[in-house]
Amino acid sequence: MPVPDNDFTFVKDAMKALCREHGIERDRKATVEIAALLVALVKEGIHDAEELKVLVRERWMEAAPLFRGADSPAEPPSRS
């Protein structure tokens, strides 16, 4: 489904839902990581908020070692 050039509310909705779902409020690093994954997926052509959330969870789990050191307590969103 094509997205109008100026309507990216689906990205905002996915971002808010993921952050709320996983208690990410003041963790700027986690917020930036999620935002970067969302942008990458939109560039790949994903324009559905639900699909974005599922794919961000999967990719964040895969990328966790790249974003954080092995000793970091930060956790990516769980697959719930």
Long-range contacts of 3-6 (CB under 8 A, 24+ apart): 3/47
Share of the chain above pLDDT 70, in %: 72
Structure tokens at 78: 């769980």
More reliable by pLDDT, 30 or 80: 30
Mean pLDDT across the stretch 21-47?
89
**What's the pLDDT score for residue 39?**
93
Average pLDDT over residues 69-78: 50
Give the chain as a 3 state SS string. Answer: CCCCCCCCHHHHHHHHHHHHHCCCCCCHHHHHHHHHHHHHHHHCCCCCHHHHHHHHHHHHHHHHHHHCCCCCCCCCCCCC
pLDDT tens for 7-20 read 789 999 999 998 88
Determine if the pTM surpasses 0.85: no
